[in-house]
Structure 1
Amino acid sequence: MSTSLEAQSREDTRRIPDASYRRTEASDPWPWVGKQDDIDPNQLDYIPMLPPVPPPCDHISCGGCWKGYPQSRFPDWTRNQVLRSNISKTILMRNPSTIYQVIFTIYGFHFDRKSTPVPGDNPDRIWENMIHTKEPKGVKLCALFVQNMSGHLLQMLGTKYNIDPLFFSSSINWIPSRNQKQIRPLKGDHITFTLTFLRSHEKMPTGGPGIRSGFTPSLANSISSTAVSAGPASRHYLALDLLSVYLIRSVDGSTLISYHSNTDHTTTAHYLEQRASLAGQGIYWQNILESSLDSTFILLVLLWHAMRSWDEALGHVSDHISWLESQMISTSNILMAHELFHTRAYCFRYSSLLEDFKKTIEFVRDTRNPAMDALEIENREFSAGLMARECDHLLSKIHQLEGDKKTQEKRLKNAMDLVLSTFGVGDSQRMQQMTEAAMRDSAVMKQIAYMTMVYLPASFVATVFGMNIKTFAPDTEGTLLRYIETTIALTFLTIWIVIAFQSKYIFAHGRSVWARLAWPFLLF
């Protein structure tokens, strides 16, 4: 009974893409789910007996199961997940694509290279060619480098090779990731990584997620929008590049799929295919690929491309810092200070990118290939040691890049200290000029005070003799005693008010007005 139930469940699952997931509206690009964000009821009925991924399909009797990807292969990916991951936007694309293919034999070298244009229309014919194309015997690895992937091609590749949609989600959104999926002991697994790295360009990059994380300095004559320049005569631009690889490792022959977005500042599929082909022809990599049956070594070839890009980009950053240092010696423009702060901030950003690069290399080194367990222990140990050695070379290079980056950060700090010192000296000079001006004003005031002292006795005598009292004017009623009494009273009242409202040494803060007016009684 259980066997028949399981067979029935598998048959229902296989029929889902053809019968249950029909397009309900002409504008609805996802026929595999309903309007609710839930798992299909047919899958829920048999979840205790079905694996998370439906069983392999022969792609002949299913009626076109690729049209339901990703839900047809991964039912846990609901409609909202497809929308949020931006896979839905790519599925709607009907642009032409190109697949660059390289096939490596078990002897390490490649024997076939070709490029296949994939038009945006007539998807059924493309699917027929894909499922009926068989790889020749003796193939160790078939590498597919896809440029400008269309929606139909994404669904076809995802269905044929059972690719986890998380790979496409990470690639489309430029999200760094590392995963190992579908582990089969003694047979193989699926590993994938998405890596962003720094790359230098001679032309201004435009568009793409990497531009948002590039340089955005303000100095027009040295850097312009995502650009790093070694000076006005030599201009280079930096932007993030993407390396997104899905490797299916198997004892029967592995398959590598590399995703390449259609932007002008990213590595093209054709270029990376050429690098992989040259590795199969070179003596060093050919010996490695020939001596080990592990197809993971092809990932190291791709990682070395990112490493060279990092090395070149940081070299241009160093040239730019040298140019800034020379400019700071000859000028004290405030824009230079802003540029130094911007450059140092992006150097801090590069630290996190290098750390993610290191983690990717460690992931490739430590993620064991289950297909190698079918070989003898000597072959497994040899391949593991060779993998550790090559990954250590990459890690040592990253350590060198980190050291160079720290040196550049120190140079930036010294330049910033020079800027602050220069502006500090300028401020000191201005303060000195203001002090000298104040001293000159003080000298003038002293001269005026001296002149006033010269005329003070005469003014006093004139004031005394001009008083309207009987001593000097007998026909008046005023007396000298009344003048003295009035002067003393007014003087005492003035001193009382000044001390009550101006002194901060007698009264605490917040004392009332009456308490302040009573200061003679409180003081004496």
Structure 2
Amino acid sequence: MGTTGSTTPGLSMSRRRMYPDENTSYIRLGCPKLIRGVMEDWKYYPQCCFPDWTPDEVHWGGLFHGCEHMELCTVHEVVILDDGGSKQYSITHVDGDEKLTAACWNWLQEPQPARARVLFVENMSSQVLQMLGTKYNVDPSFFLSSMNWVLSRCYQEDPKPKESDHVTVILPFIRTTRNQQPIERASPIDIPSDGQQKIIQGMSPPYGMTLLQDLLAIHMVRTPTTSTIISYHPRSNLHGTCAKHLQSFLQHSDNSLILSISEDPTAAFILIMKYVLQEWDEAIGILYNCMIELESDAIGNVSVKVLQELHHLQAHVLCYRALLEHFRKSVAFVRELTPNPLTGARPISDRERRFSADLTKSELANLLSNITRLEEQILMFSDQTQRVRLLFAKLLKVIFPCFLAAVSLSPWPIFTNLTIVQRVFCMNVREIDPRTIGTLAQYAGTTIALILGTGWLVVVLNPLSSFHLGRHYIMQRLMWPIFYVYNTISRTIWMIRWSRRRNSDTWMG
């Protein structure tokens, strides 16, 4: 699932990064140019923070390929205050506008006297990617994994006791949206890869809603002062992203107990997980209604289309079971995320610290319990879908026995003819097999009659045959042997007369 340590398990551009040595520690480098306060330093990302990411590796890996779009990049921010309250902002960045670029960089540089700063990035641009990566020292593998939909990656990087650490969770989930036009998923970047289109097509259930797969990609930087959570949201051409929804959800959760008590910024992380759980609840509710409607259709309208819909639903159920398993592993990873580098960094009592830790574990246990409930519902859906398919098969056998017989006997004319030919040409005559009653003359007569009859039928059915000269009247085509013999005799007599007349004219000349 993931690792906890100093090794970066992201997408790798070299053999050393692709197969890292477990005994070799990967040390994050600071940004020396940034320390000197040069504003343009973020343009050198990722080389300014990660020198092993050469320009060739960045180009080959397509780090900025997902940023090549015309949509505006919007960063939705939620600032969680020390007392658990929150306030939200939004800033829009346009590539190529120097004033907006400078304003965005200055906005990121502003100190925030708060417990945590949550940034929901919608339609990531290359400049915003470089700013975030430089400001928070984010490994480029996070952006690559998110843009390439490398699903279910959870890992902790560079833990420093009482200082900081980096936590990454990339999790696919199912969310609901208004039914405009079903799409396969929230559009990732268009990389020419065979593994890209591996997601099952989006469902369009009734009740004006659509189920589609989205991605939750979170990178959390925990520090004693102000922690930061970066949430990347892939582009979606028709249905939008959940960045704005997450901002509103977190804003309306400012009175929650875990935010007001817990000193760990993981509390905001847990609230985001609760949003994913809420989306799963809505999606499974719509899936249940869709299954009930298909079940009634299977009983009242036995057709191939209903059977196809049942197979489609079964494929979705299997996919959702796998996604819920990824969700469970991600929550379990956050629960086992130790050690917390902020432990002891803030001047609070041991009792408050223990209460905060117990509250965090309790919330995570509650999440795991709800995920178990969702998994049981999905398993019930799978069993019910299988029962409906069996019921459909039984109804098909009861209602359409003639249809099934016709299907099973559809090649009857071909095999019947073959059977007749086998019986005729197996040489069951008295001269060969004394146990039979047929004679060689009967065999020869039957064979000749079959050959002549088959040839006559082939000529009758061929409208372009030269034997009946394309006659359109059915009687003329059925009597083509008579016309053929008559025409042949007439042509022969005419040729004889014409030959005699020519010879007579030659002799007279």
Task: Judge same fold: TM > 0.5, yes or no.
Answer: yes
1:227 aligned counterpart, secondary structure: coil
Residues 186 and 213, structure 2, Cα contact 8 Å, conserved in 1 = no
1:495 aligns with 2:469: no
What corresponds to 1:157 in structure 2? 132
* Of 171, 174, 177, the match for 1:198: 174
1:388 aligned counterpart, secondary structure: helix
* Of 315, 323, 337, the match for 1:345: 315
**1:273-294 deviation digits (Å, cap 9, x = unpaired):** 11111111x3xx1x32221211
Q: Percent identity?
A: 28
What corresponds to 1:416 in structure 2? 389
Residues in 2 aligned to 1:59 and 1:340: alpha-carbon distance in whole angstroms: 60
What corresponds to 1:32 in structure 2? none
What corresponds to 2:251 in structure 1? 277
Counterpart code for 2:284: L
Residues in 2 aligned to 1:491 and 1:254: alpha-carbon distance in whole angstroms: 102
Residues in 1 aligned to 2:95 and 2:222: alpha-carbon distance in whole angstroms: 29
* Of 290, 297, 303, the match for 2:273: 303
**1:21-44 deviation digits (Å, cap 9, x = unpaired):** xxxxxxxxxxxxxxx9899xxxxx
1:432 offset after TM fit, Å? 8.0
Counterpart code for 1:398: I
Residues in 2 aligned to 1:288 and 1:63: alpha-carbon distance in whole angstroms: 37
- Flag structure 2 segments of 5+ consecutive residues without an equivalent: 1-12, 17-23, 189-195, 409-428, 438-509
Calculate the TM-score normalised by the size of structure 1. 0.66
What corresponds to 2:64 in structure 1? 88
1:434 offset after TM fit, Å? 12
1:60–1:125 distance in 2 versus 1, CA, 3 Å: farther
1:394–1:266 distance in 2 versus 1, CA, 3 Å: farther
Counterpart code for 2:93: V
What corresponds to 1:120 in structure 2? 95
**1:308-367 deviation digits (Å, cap 9, x = unpaired):** 111111111111111111111112101211211121121011111000011111111111
Counterpart code for 2:246: L
* Of 325, 349, 361, the match for 2:295: 325
Counterpart code for 1:71: Q
Counterpart code for 1:260: H
- Flag structure 1 segments of 5+ consecutive residues without an equivalent: 1-35, 40-47, 217-225, 436-489, 499-524
Residues in 2 aligned to 1:94 and 1:319: alpha-carbon distance in whole angstroms: 38
* Of 337, 343, 346, the match for 1:372: 343
Residues in 1 aligned to 2:107 and 2:240: alpha-carbon distance in whole angstroms: 32
Residues in 2 aligned to 1:49 and 1:325: alpha-carbon distance in whole angstroms: 56
What corresponds to 1:357 in structure 2? 327
Q: CA RMSD in A?
A: 3.3
**1:56-95 deviation digits (Å, cap 9, x = unpaired):** 5435455722122112211222445434543131455575
2:83 aligned counterpart, secondary structure: coil
What corresponds to 1:174 in structure 2? 149
Counterpart code for 2:287: V
Counterpart code for 1:393: N
Residues in 2 aligned to 1:337 and 1:433: alpha-carbon distance in whole angstroms: 20
Residues 213 and 239, structure 1, Cα contact 8 Å, conserved in 2 = no
The alignment covers a number of residue pairs equal to 384
Bigger-Rg structure (1/2): 1
Residues 127 and 156, structure 1, Cα contact 8 Å, conserved in 2 = no
* Of 265, 268, 285, the match for 2:239: 265
1:67 aligns with 2:43: yes
Counterpart code for 1:140: R
What corresponds to 1:288 in structure 2? 258
Residues in 2 aligned to 1:161 and 1:349: alpha-carbon distance in whole angstroms: 35
1:395 offset after TM fit, Å? 0.9
